[in-house]
Structures are given as C-alpha cells and as structure tokens.
C-alpha cells in the first residue's frame, strides 16, 4: 500500500468518528421525542393522516404497518415506470419501462437495494427518477432505521408490550434526520459541480474534431461552436464527432442515495460519472456520507439503552473489521496484473483497469470497500475489473451480512443479532444462561436470530445454484469460467444483502434475473426484518436484570474481539466453497499464466 492509501484511511476514520457522535445523540433525541424542532407541523401532519401518535404498537402491528408502507411504495414505483411515456418531465420522450424491469426496480428500491439492470439516464425520465426513485430512497432508508430503533427499544424497555408507533417513527426520521442531511449534502455537491437541472441533454462536439478545425473547449456545446454565437449555431459539420451528455436533477438524488445507503445512480456509471462525482473532495464526502448514519446509530443505541459504552463497543467491532478489509482491498488492487506485466506493460501503482484517473487505485478501492460493507451499492469504479482477490474482498464485505456499518438501520440490527449469537457462544463456554444488556437470551431469541442469520446464505447460494443450472441463468454470462461464476455469485450476494452493486459483466436485464433477483431482494429484506421485530417484542416484555459476578461484560476490548470473531466465522464460513470456485480459482489461473 502507498503512503497515500494509509493517509486516506486514517483521515477518513479521523473525520468519521467525531462526526458520528453528535448525529447519534441527535437521532436518539428525535426518536425519544426530545427534538426541539418537533412541533405544530408534525402534529398537523398526524391529524391530516389520521395518526394517533400517543398510541403505540405491538411488534406485530409495527411490522404490519411497515409492510403496508413498503407495499404502497412498490406499487407507486411500479406504476410511475409503467406510465412513464404518458407523464410529464420526460424531455427525451422515453417509453414505458418493460414490466419485468419495472417490477425488479420497484422491489429493489423498496428494499433499499437499488439494484439497477438498466442505464438510468437512457431508461427513466426525470419524473421517474424523482417521484419514484428519489422519494423511495428516503422511505426505504427510514424503514431500516425505525426497525433498528424498535430493536433498541426492546433492549431498553422492561415488561412492555409495545415498541412505539411506526408512523411517528417514520415521520420523525424523515423530517428531522434524512431531509436536513440530504438538503445540506445536495447543496454541497451542487456547489462542487454535481449537476442539478431539468434539461434533457446537451450535445457537444468531442475532442475528435470540431467544425473550425481547432480543439474544442470542453464547456462548449454543439449549438455554440467556437466562431458562432449560440443563437446562430449550425449543426456539427460532417466528420465532427458529436455526443449527447445526459443531464437532470442529480445532486438531490446523489445526496440521499449516499446518506440512505441506497446506491442507485441517476447515471448508469453511478459515482464514476463526472456529473455525479466530479472531484476527489466530492469522492471523500460521498464515502463519509455512506458510513455516517450507520456509525451514528451505534451511538444512538448506547444513548437509548443508557450506556454509551455499549454503542462504542459495537462501533469498535465494526471499525476493526472495516480496517482489515479496507487494507486488504487496497493491497490487492495495488498489485499489477501479471498478464499485462508479461506483455511488457508496467502499470503505475497497480491495477488501474476500470478506475477513474481522477480518483486512482486507493480512493477507488476504499470507496468500493465502504460501499459493499454498507449495503449501499454506489460505485466509483468497475468492480468487475478488480483483481480476483480484490473482487473477493468485495464479495466478503457483503457476505458478512453487511453488518460492518451496513445499511442505515440494517447494519445496526444485523450487528445486534451477531451480538446475541456472541453472548450465546460465551454462555455455552462458561455454563450460564446468556444475557445481553440485562436481558436473558433464551430459546425464542436464538431461534429467531438463527433464522435471520441463516436465511441470507440460503438465498445467495440457492439462487446462484439455480442460475448456474438453468440455461436462462447461464445465458447472461459474458465471461465463461471462474469469473463468470463470480459474476453470478456477486449478483445474488448483492441482492440478498440489499447492496445493489454488481460485477457488470453479467447481462442481468432479462426476465429470469429480474424476477429471481427481485424475489431474493424481497426475502432478504423482509425475512430479516420480521425476526428482528419479533426479537424486539420478546425482549421488551422481559425484566432487565442487574449485572452479577458471572455476567459477561459486553463493553470493552474482550467483547469487541468476541463479536468480531463471531461475525467473521459465522458470516464467512458459509461461503468458503463458493469463493473457492470463483475468485480464488480465478486468482490461481491468473498466477499460473505468469
């Protein structure tokens, strides 16, 4: 690793950790009704919607409300896409989206996955991008956060039958957390050059030639060539190369895509596009935005359970695993491709294939690690072009269950499931009934935790096996062999863990992949949220016990090590055979060719 890579990683952590604390405390204040900004507007909104904020819900009612909320989101996103041609704000006159693609996209954005098997700027109108996708980015992110809040209440409350009011929780998260943060970030991104307009596209003459024969100014459009005023411009002359540059309201969608760990881009190139991520500064801020809320929620947890050390312990475990994986990814990408070396090509700094020159290897590898760990799916480089071992790290990031920071809300409740497993393992070793935060972890909690933890590997490995066996699945492979298998494994890993990034060599915009991946995304989200809320309800009803001489301390370095080991062992061992068939086999074949 270069000195730049070490400095980048250090500065990132140095900025993230102090920023997370005040935000975490703010979220706790918001969710406990202590936010001084709440007032008449919120009350008026409840009256209009017929919500009684004082009435709390059982875990089952809470889950039903979230299910209804997200079902309405799926239907609205699907309808907007299918009626796109008849709706306004469609400057390129794009047609309605195909049914299977629209269905996949609707499930994808409702589950906070944001898997996109299409080019955003060439498939969706401005209205579809804003009314369907951008709005759903807020709603799906809010869903993940309120589920985590409900689980925190399960630990914090005693002999309670309720977990809060889902409608109030969703309203407060959107109004007082997501909207203010997204507004500030959108303004910043726009100030740095991220596009925000309602123009369909600009036509420009490229560097290959211009009508005047002189090099073209990059800021100049085809309607305004060097010697012609804009109102008198003629079309480009024969032989000149013209290109359409897509435009639109990017800054607003970029902000919530990152803050909400959504990942779906306005442009097909996502955060590699210069209109979406123009400079190293915006790249750094985007990386920070992806981890900001997941890190803050750890401290929200500590504040709401009455022991901030518990939150710092979870954050330390996440940070430890993150640093290990980030260093591994940057190290593997700093290695030159042996096939290129054998041809006499001497790459500067390592594997630059598929990476933007304005970011380089270290920034691209760190962005990819953050994105895959955080269930975000935003990309600033082509993951398909990573080295075999670099790509394997990205797979491992997701296969851990996306609990290392993870998605907004989903990372925290996923890590708390592993914490329950960790104290259970510790309880077996010392012969005591396991406890976490004074709550006994009994058969019901272990049964539900096991379902949530085992479901994702079943979806990933089962979906991959079906795709490899069926001709419809194999038809999408563009790279036969080990890498083609890795592309399929990556697609189902990304879908089941609600990430959304891809090894783009797989042609996934087909009825087979649109439907199977949609099913995996849906079960990967709802199949975990259901058990989590059931655990929250079970814990809330229990008495909180005082710590005794035999109680395992769940804060400090010992528990950080135990929790980290549980995540790595339980999360990773399921996938070792599949990784051996894919990236590990590809790495050995690549080295054999040296």
The reported pLDDT for the residue numbered 227 is: 34
The reported pLDDT for the residue numbered 593 is: 67
pTM equals 0.91
Residue 292 lies in a domain: no
Q: How confident is the model at residue 216 (pLDDT cuts 50, 70, 90)?
A: very low
415 strand-pairing partners: none
The reported pLDDT for the residue numbered 214 is: 44
Q: How far is CA 131 from CA 57, 143, 173, 367, 525, in A?
A: 30, 18, 19, 28, 23
Residue 220 pLDDT > 70, yes or no? no
- Beta-carbon contacts of 182 under 8 Å, excluding residues fewer than 6 positions away, are 138, 252, 255, 256, 259, 260
555 DSSP assignment = S
At 130, list the tokens: 């804003």
Which has the minimum average pLDDT: 127-141, 202-216, 301-315, 504-518?
A: 202-216
Q: How confident is the model at residue 489 (pLDDT cuts 50, 70, 90)?
A: very high
Mean pLDDT of the chain: 89
Q: How confident is the model at residue 256 (pLDDT cuts 50, 70, 90)?
A: very high
Residue 496 lies in a domain: yes
| CB-based contact 319:47 (threshold 8 Å) | no
- Beta-carbon contacts of 30 under 8 Å, excluding residues fewer than 6 positions away, are 38, 172, 173, 176, 177
Q: How confident is the model at residue 231 (pLDDT cuts 50, 70, 90)?
A: very low
- Three-class DSSP category at 505: coil
The reported pLDDT for the residue numbered 382 is: 93
The reported pLDDT for the residue numbered 572 is: 86
- Beta-carbon contacts of 68 under 8 Å, excluding residues fewer than 6 positions away, are none
Q: Which domain holds residue 541?
A: 408-592
Residue 485 lies in a domain: yes
At 42, list the tokens: 């919120």
| CB-based contact 228:214 (threshold 8 Å) | no
The reported pLDDT for the residue numbered 209 is: 57
Q: Tens digit of pLDDT for each residue in 159-168?
A: 999 999 999 9
Residue 272 lies in a domain: no
Q: Alpha helices, DSSP H only, in 83-191?
A: 99-110, 120-123, 126-127, 135-156, 166-173, 179-191
- Three-class DSSP category at 247: coil
- Three-class DSSP category at 246: strand
Angle CA(501)–CA(502)–CA(508) in degrees, nearest 5? Answer: 125
Residue 492 lies in a domain: yes
Residue 569 lies in a domain: yes
Which has the minimum average pLDDT: 51-55, 266-270, 336-340?
A: 336-340
Q: How far is CA 523 from CA 316, 496, 497, 529, in A?
A: 30, 7, 10, 10
Please give the full DSSP string across 27-65, using - where no structure is assigned.
Answer: HHHHHTT--TT-SHHHHHHHHHHT--TT--B-HHHHHHH
What is d(CA 412, CA 295) in angstroms, rounded to the nearest whole number? 9
What is d(CA 529, CA 501) in angstroms, rounded to the nearest whole number? 21
In this structure, the dihedral spanned by the alpha carbons of residues 183, 185, 189 and 195, taken in order and rounded to 10 degrees, is -30
Q: Tens digit of pLDDT for each residue in 342-367?
A: 777 766 678 888 999 899 999 999 99
Q: Tens digit of pLDDT for each residue in 74-133?
A: 999 999 999 999 999 999 899 999 999 999 999 999 999 999 988 888 899 999 999 889
Residue 361 lies in a domain: no
Return the H-helix or E-strand segment holding 511: helix 511-540
What is d(CA 106, CA 38) in angstroms, rounded to the nearest whole number? 32
What is d(CA 387, CA 395) in angstroms, rounded to the nearest whole number? 12
Q: Are strands 439-440 and 435-436 parallel, antiparallel or unpaired?
A: antiparallel
Q: Tens digit of pLDDT for each residue in 476-488?
A: 998 888 999 999 9
The reported pLDDT for the residue numbered 101 is: 94
At 80, list the tokens: 């907007």
Of 405, 404, 371, 369, the closest CA to residue 294 belongs to: 405
Length of the chain: 594
Q: Tens digit of pLDDT for each residue in 425-483?
A: 888 887 777 889 989 999 999 999 999 999 999 999 999 999 999 999 999 998 888 99
Q: Tens digit of pLDDT for each residue in 125-145?
A: 999 999 889 999 999 999 999
Please give the full DSSP string across 291-349, using - where no structure is assigned.
Answer: HHHHHHHHHHHHHHTT-HHHHHHHHHHHHHHHHHHHHHHHHHHTSPPHHHHHTT---SS
What is d(CA 351, CA 383) in angstroms, rounded to the nearest whole number? 12
The reported pLDDT for the residue numbered 213 is: 41
In this structure, the dihedral spanned by the alpha carbons of residues 35, 36, 37 and 40, taken in order and rounded to 10 degrees, is 100
At 266, list the tokens: 């306005």
The reported pLDDT for the residue numbered 302 is: 95
Angle CA(194)–CA(195)–CA(199) in degrees, nearest 5? Answer: 175
What is d(CA 409, CA 294) in angstroms, rounded to the nearest whole number? 7
The reported pLDDT for the residue numbered 545 is: 84
Residue 259 pLDDT > 80, yes or no? yes
Which has the minimum average pLDDT: 58-62, 290-294, 407-411, 589-593?
A: 589-593
Residue 461 lies in a domain: yes
What is d(CA 153, CA 540) in angstroms, rounded to the nearest whole number? 7
Please give the full DSSP string across 352-397, using - where no structure is assigned.
Answer: -TTB-TTTHHHHHHHHHHHHHHTT----SB-GGGS-HHHHHHHHHH
Q: How many domains does the chain have?
A: 1
């Amino acid at each position: 690793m270069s000195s730049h890579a070490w400095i980048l990683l250090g500065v990132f952590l140095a900025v993230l950790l102090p920023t997370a604390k005040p935000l975490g405390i703010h979220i706790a204040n918001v969710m406990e009704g202590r936010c001084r900004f709440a007032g008449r507007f919120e009350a008026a909104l409840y009256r209009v919607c017929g919500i009684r904020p004082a009435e709390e819900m059982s875990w089952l009612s809470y889950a039903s409300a979230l299910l209804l909320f997200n079902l309405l989101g799926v239907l609205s996103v699907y309808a907007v896409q299918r009626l796109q041609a008849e709706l306004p704000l469609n400057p390129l006159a794009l047609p309605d989206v195909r049914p299977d693609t629209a269905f996949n996209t609707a499930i994808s954005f409702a589950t906070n996955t944001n898997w996109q098997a299409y080019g955003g700027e060439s498939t969706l109108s401005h209205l579809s991008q804003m009314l369907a996708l951008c709005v759903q980015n807020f709603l799906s992110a809010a869903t993940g956060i309120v589920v985590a809040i409900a689980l925190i209440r399960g630990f914090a409350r005693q002999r309670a039958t309720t977990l809060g009011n889902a409608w109030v929780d969703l309203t407060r998260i959107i109004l007082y957390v997501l909207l203010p943060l997204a507004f500030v970030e959108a303004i910043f991104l726009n100030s740095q050059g991220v596009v925000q307009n309602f123009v369909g596209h600009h036509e420009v003459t490229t560097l290959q030639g211009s009508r005047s024969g002189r090099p073209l100014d990059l800021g100049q459009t085809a309607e305004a060539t060097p010697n012609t005023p804009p109102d008198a411009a003629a079309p480009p002359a024969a032989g000149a190369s013209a290109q359409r540059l897509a435009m639109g309201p990017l800054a607003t969608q970029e902000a919530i895509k990152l803050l909400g760990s959504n990942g779906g881009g306005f442009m097909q190139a996502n955060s590699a596009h210069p209109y979406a991520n123009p400079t190293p500064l915006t790249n750094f801020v985007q990386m920070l935005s992806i981890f900001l809320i997941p890190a803050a929620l750890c401290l929200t947890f500590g504040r709401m359970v009455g022991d901030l050390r518990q939150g710092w312990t979870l954050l330390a475990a996440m940070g430890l695993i993150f640093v290990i994986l980030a260093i591994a990814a940057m190290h593997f990408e700093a290695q030159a491709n042996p096939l290129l070396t054998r041809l006499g090509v001497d790459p500067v700094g390592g594997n630059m294939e598929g990476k933007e020159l304005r970011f380089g290897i270290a920034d691209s590898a760190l962005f990819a690690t953050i994105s895959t760990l955080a269930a975000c799916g935003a990309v600033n480089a082509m993951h398909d072009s990573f080295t075999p071992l670099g790509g394997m790290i990205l797979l491992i990031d997701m296969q851990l269950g996306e609990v290392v920071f993870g998605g907004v809300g989903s990372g925290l409740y996923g890590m708390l499931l592993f914490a329950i497993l960790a104290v259970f393992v510790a309880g077996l070793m010392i012969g005591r009934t396991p406890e976490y935060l004074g709550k006994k972890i009994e058969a019901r909690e272990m049964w539900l935790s096991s379902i949530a933890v085992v479901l994702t590997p079943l979806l990933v490995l089962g979906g991959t096996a079906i795709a490899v066996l069926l001709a419809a699945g194999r038809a999408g492979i563009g790279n036969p062999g080990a890498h083609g298998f890795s592309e399929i494994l990556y697609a189902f890993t990304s879908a089941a863990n609600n990430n959304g990034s891809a090894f783009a060599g797989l042609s996934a915009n087909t009825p087979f992949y649109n439907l199977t991946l949609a099913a995996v995304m849906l079960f990967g989200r709802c199949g975990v949220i259901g058990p989590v809320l059931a655990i929250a309800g079970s814990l809330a009803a229990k008495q909180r016990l005082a710590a005794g001489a035999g109680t395992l301390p769940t804060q400090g370095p010992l528990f950080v090590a135990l929790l980290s080991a549980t995540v790595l062992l339980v999360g990773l061992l399921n996938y070792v055979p599949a990784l051996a068939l894919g990236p590990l086999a590809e790495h050995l074949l690549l080295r054999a060719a040296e």
